[in-house]
Structure 1
């Protein structure tokens, strides 16, 4: 990033399932650490590392308390690059196999930062939260100040066209506004007619189908609660 904010680097990773295949990624990250371009610059490494750093990051650590070679390789990488977990909110485990029998949860996803990042962005943190149908939690990273959210666009629900009241409503509203005729202002009047129709369609959709946005959010919230309870 340029300007008043110091330049920083972000590496997104998706590590292989096999420990031997992950070694190539670990070597690439070490090369980044040794690069003059990265030296003494804030650096964040985020993604699915497909490996844990500590035994307690496995839900069955009390049963399987053996440090595997892949875990040692990951620990050696983190030490070599002087990386540490960014402060985070949410469950310790970020992945589960979603099995009714033999459920296993692990912390496979994380945000690692170097000392330069911690110094420059002391207020940064990450949030791990349920993301829907995925077997991984999703991650949000907070670095700077809040931004203003843009205005949500109007969404037309196609299902309302099958309601017998739909076309009469459109005809009534369309006829109540200024008629269209060939002129330089025709497009402007056309847009005004569409804007006049929008609130009627929003209310019609809500009356016919209920609050679909609310229903979808409620269903999504229930799904996320179930995922968070599992993890």
Structure 2
């Protein structure tokens, strides 16, 4: 994340969030600055670091993790972004295995990723699309708001999707259920990105609904009678007995 403050001021926050490992790139004046925190069950080897990119090899004995992760902060100025994009191209040449790139790229892949204000130059959009093609990475699926940044100005509101996660083919093959969540911001103009590499959607059990059309079926009464009678054992509590009989009827009706 971009900190905009000296590392000495945010080390306390790192401890409060119970992260055991940390890396900082100091800001230049009141702009920039990067902070990367991780837990002790992750082994992170920094391969390259600058004010715009932290490129690391990742290992873990307890978690399934990408081989390489690049944490990206795209410069606001296009001429500076071009330099960083060329750096990513150079890094891509030596990638072996799954590669995840995540962060604030300050760039768009299409006009649909912007709402309000002047349209983004197609030249800039094509340049960013070319970066993904050259690095052989793809935009990862996300859930949440279509935009990740807002200028928060009344009357001239501009919203853009400039924060994203990208993965190469090896990443998509190894983490085929990976999903990115855009979490609503608190005290920031950016959404939080949560990249769940091994997302597993837990589906709740389908609720039982009685279908009125069942009553028109020729076997309806017989099915209900069999269910009502299919209760083994005696129950003194009449409410409990009623619940058991209704449950037996439900099971037979569903079948």
* TM bucket, shorter chain: 0.5 to 0.7
CA RMSD of aligned residues (A): 2.1
Which residue of 2 is the match for residue 64 of structure 1?
119
Higher RCO (CA 8 Å, separation ≥ 6 residues): 1
Trace 1:140-159 onto structure 2 (pairs within 5 A).
140-144=194-198
Query: Per the alignment, do residues 6 and 128 of structure 1 end up closer, same or farther by CA in structure 2, a change over 3 Å counting?
Result: closer
Residue 43, structure 1, aligned to residue 99, structure 2: yes
Which residue of 2 is the match for residue 25 of structure 1?
84
Query: Per the alignment, do residues 6 and 112 of structure 1 end up closer, same or farther by CA in structure 2, a change over 3 Å counting?
Result: closer
The one of 158, 168, 179 aligned to 1:104: 158
Distance 1:89 1:60 in 2: 22
In structure 1, the gaps of 5 or more residues are: 147-231
Once the two structures are superposed, what CA deviation does each residue of 1:4-56 show, in whole Å capped at 9, x if it has no partner?
95761110000110000001110111011111xx13x1001000000111111
The one of 72, 93, 98 aligned to 1:13: 72
Query: Per the alignment, do residues 136 and 6 of structure 1 end up closer, same or farther by CA in structure 2, a change over 3 Å counting?
Result: closer
Which residue of 2 is the match for residue 199 of structure 1?
none
In structure 2, the gaps of 5 or more residues are: 1-58, 201-255
The one of 115, 127, 136 aligned to 2:190: 136
Which residue of 1 is the match for residue 206 of structure 2?
none
C-alpha displacement of 1:64: 2.8
Higher helix share: 1
The one of 106, 110, 116 aligned to 1:54: 110
Once the two structures are superposed, what CA deviation does each residue of 1:159-184 show, in whole Å capped at 9, x if it has no partner?
xxxxxxxxxxxxxxxxxxxxxxxxxx
Query: Per the alignment, do residues 7 and 111 of structure 1 end up closer, same or farther by CA in structure 2, a change over 3 Å counting?
Result: closer
C-alpha displacement of 1:129: 1.2
Distance 2:193 2:155 in 1: 27
Higher strand share: 2
Query: Per the alignment, do residues 94 and 6 of structure 1 end up closer, same or farther by CA in structure 2, a change over 3 Å counting?
Result: closer
SS of 1:10 mapped into structure 2:
strand
SS of 2:116 mapped into structure 1:
coil
SS of 2:71 mapped into structure 1:
strand
Distance 1:130 1:91 in 2: 8
How many residues align? The count is 141
SS of 2:115 mapped into structure 1:
coil
Which residue of 2 is the match for residue 183 of structure 1?
none
SS of 1:56 mapped into structure 2:
helix
Distance 1:135 1:7 in 2: 28
Distance 1:87 1:96 in 2: 21
